[in-house]
Chain A
Amino acid sequence: MKEEIIIAGFGGQGVLSMGKILAYSGIMQDQEVTWMPSYGPEMRGGTANVTVILSDKKISSPILSKCDVAIILNQQSLDKFEESVKPGGVLIYDPNGITRIPSRKDITVCSIAAVDIAAEIGNSKGYNMVVLGAYLKMRPVVTLENVIKGLKKSIPERHHSLIPMNEKAIAAGMEKIEIKNSL
């Protein structure tokens, strides 16, 4: 098993922390992991992205030109990364703010209205967990049990009371993902 994921959106959407939780979930499942962020001026308001790799074997390059899954949370990132998905791969996007929907026909395209869903469940800060849930529905590379363990490792202990809310957000994402075109 080797899963290469690019998560991209605005700084502040929880792109990097979602990647970190996913990577920690991989460690809980005894996988090898790398988490490589874009760093620098992007953190202060521009676009942010992170490459996460989960694998059964030692990971060589943490930098990719193509990925299995792209999780896209704004238009700029869609423009930049749509072509990066390998044929047969998966692109998951949040339609909020998207003006040009993905056009690839050789990949599975899914949408998750995570902004709306997070607001509906009364947990707008759980936005990235809704997206993570949508991803896990499409690619169950780590078990939910290990994701919760990963969450516990990524979140400071004083915030562990928030884990049930995050779990609910993940469940909502799993339930509400829409497959736009299936291969």
Chain B
Amino acid sequence: MAEKILMKGNEAIAHAAIRCGCDGYFGYPITPQSEVMETLMEEQPWETTGMVVLQAESETSSINMLYGGASCGKKVMTSSSSPGLSLMCEGLSYLAGAELPCLVVNVVRGGPGLGTIQPGQGDYFQACKGGGHGDYRMIVLAPASAQEMYDFVDLSFELAFKYRNPAMILSDGVIGQMMEKVELRPMKPRWTNEEIIKNMPWATTGKTPDRKQNVITSLALDAAVHERLNHTLIAKYKQMEDEDVRFENVQCEDAEHVIVAYGCMARICESTIEMARKEGIKLGLLRPITLFPFPKKEINRLVPHLKSMMSVELSTGQMLEDVQLAVNGRIPVNFFGRLGGIVPSPEEVLEAFKNSINK
């Protein structure tokens, strides 16, 4: 078995990028995710795999460097935290409009504005409902451990290239800063130019006499062409919902009540479930791993057997709306959240749950 190394979630992102054959990282430092670029700079992958690591002059530059790299069919990524992500939203919309694959990591802190550097989950809407302008979606993965931070880098690239669409890892200050055991997966080589030309016929790899030029743009002034582009995008998002929903069920099968939580809150709620079970309360946990596409069908399957659901988030209730949509009024959907970078303990969540069903 491969050696297990103690590392932060942020460090795991960096090691995973190098080892899964990423071509380029472009970023700008911000707490609580600065270890991503720090680790990459320490590892110096340009000496080994040839991966480029560049500190851009701003987040706006980073995201547009992704546009350039992705246009050439390269595996490119950036990472930031909430305020930095806001600066990238214009670029994300352009990447989605031009159908470009890339990976953006957001290690969320409390907002709005500069907010706090402590953990938050208030960027759910930004990640799942847009952020940038126009009708677009991103594939959004929510890791709940350092190992998942590692594994979701490769998975994100896989999905981003499958759909030619930006993918996001939506993490938080807890998962980014926490150290856990991480198993490094086998090294994957970077794609060669020949492989890129063969597998990414849309990329701007240099026109040859036997094909038309490839144009990467999100601009379509012809109404019919533009409507067609939007329908192409919608079809992709539909396919994501059909093929790539991921979630984890913890003791949901005999549960009377289910907590829905992702990222760090899923870890904390797992302890809440254990405590509740000791008291004889049949409580389960649904952990969405993909926040878009959201596990609507799974909620739909669980609802007939449940008395209530509760969304637990480090926000004022954002994922809550997706849970409510999926439940569609059939059972009560309650909410518990803490703000300001305060992360509730498992006991606090259990008490909130008990209050929610006794009110």
Indicate with 1 or 0, residue by residue over A53-64, a CB within 8 angstroms of chain B CB atoms.
Answer: 000000011111
Chain B, interface residues (CB within 8 Å), range: 20 to 34
Contact residue among A36, A39, A60, A153 (Cβ-Cβ distance under 8 Å from B31): A39
Give the distance to chain A from B2, nearest Cβ to Cβ, in Å: 13
Query: In the complex the two chains form, what is the Cα distance from A84 to B198 in whole Å?
Result: 60
Query: In the complex the two chains form, what is the Cα distance from A33 to B180 in whole Å?
Result: 6
Once A40-B117, A62-B267, A153-B6 are accepted as A-B contacts, the answer to whether A35 and B345 lie under 8 Å apart by CB is: no
Contact residue among A41, A60, A154 (Cβ-Cβ distance under 8 Å from B271): A60
| Contact call B6/A62, Cβ cutoff below 8 A | no
Query: In the complex the two chains form, what is the Cα distance from A153 to B4 in whole Å?
Result: 11
Closest to A37 in B: B177
| Contact call A35/B178, Cβ cutoff below 8 A | yes
| Contact call A34/B346, Cβ cutoff below 8 A | no
B343 at the binding interface (Cβ < 8 Å)? yes
Q: Which of B31, B179, B180 has the most CB of A within 10 A?
A: B179
Which of A20-28, A71-79, A112-120, A159-167 binds B?
A20-28
CB contacts (< 8 Å) of B343 on chain A: these are 63
B205 at the binding interface (Cβ < 8 Å)? no
Give the distance to chain B from A14, nearest Cβ to Cβ, in Å: 16
State the main secondary structure of chain A at its contact with B.
Answer: mixed
Q: Which residues in chain A, 39-90, are within 8 Å of chain B measured between CB atoms?
A: 39-41, 60-65
| Contact call A61/B346, Cβ cutoff below 8 A | yes
B32 at the binding interface (Cβ < 8 Å)? yes
CB contacts (< 8 Å) of A40 on chain B: these are 31-32, 117-118
CB contacts (< 8 Å) of B43 on chain A: these are none
Contact residue among B117, B178, B348 (Cβ-Cβ distance under 8 Å from A62): B178
| Contact call A34/B180, Cβ cutoff below 8 A | yes
Q: Count A interface residues, CB 8 Å.
A: 21
| Contact call B345/A33, Cβ cutoff below 8 A | no
Query: In the complex the two chains form, what is the Cα distance from A40 to B346 in whole Å?
Result: 23
B181 at the binding interface (Cβ < 8 Å)? yes
CB contacts (< 8 Å) of A64 on chain B: these are 345
| Contact call B181/A32, Cβ cutoff below 8 A | yes
B158 at the binding interface (Cβ < 8 Å)? no
Indicate with 1 or 0, residue by residue over B109-149, a CB within 8 angstroms of chain A CB atoms.
Answer: 00000000110000000000000000000000000000000
| Contact call A20/B179, Cβ cutoff below 8 A | yes
Contact residue among B174, B181, B346, B347 (Cβ-Cβ distance under 8 Å from A36): B174
Query: In the complex the two chains form, what is the Cα distance from A24 to B31 in whole Å?
Result: 25
Give the distance to chain B from A154, nearest Cβ to Cβ, in Å: 8
B173 at the binding interface (Cβ < 8 Å)? yes
Q: Which residues in chain B, 234-284, are within 8 Å of chain A measured between CB atoms?
A: 264, 267-268, 270-272, 274
Contact residue among A24, A32, A34 (Cβ-Cβ distance under 8 Å from B178): A34
Q: Which residues in chain A, 74-114, are within 8 Å of chain B measured between CB atoms?
A: none
Interface residues, chain B, CB within 8 Å of chain A? Answer: 4-6, 31-32, 117-118, 173-174, 177-181, 264, 267-268, 270-272, 274, 343, 345-348
23 A-B interface contacts by CB (under 8 A):
A24-B6, A27-B4, A27-B6, A27-B181, A32-B181, A33-B180, A33-B181, A34-B179, A34-B180, A35-B180, A36-B178, A39-B31, A39-B117, A39-B173, A40-B117, A61-B345, A62-B264, A63-B345, A63-B346, A65-B346, A65-B348, A153-B5, A154-B6
Known A37-B178, A153-B5; further 16 A-B contacts with Cβ < 8 A: A33-B6, A33-B180, A36-B179, A39-B177, A40-B31, A40-B32, A40-B118, A60-B268, A62-B178, A62-B264, A63-B174, A63-B264, A63-B343, A63-B346, A64-B345, A65-B347
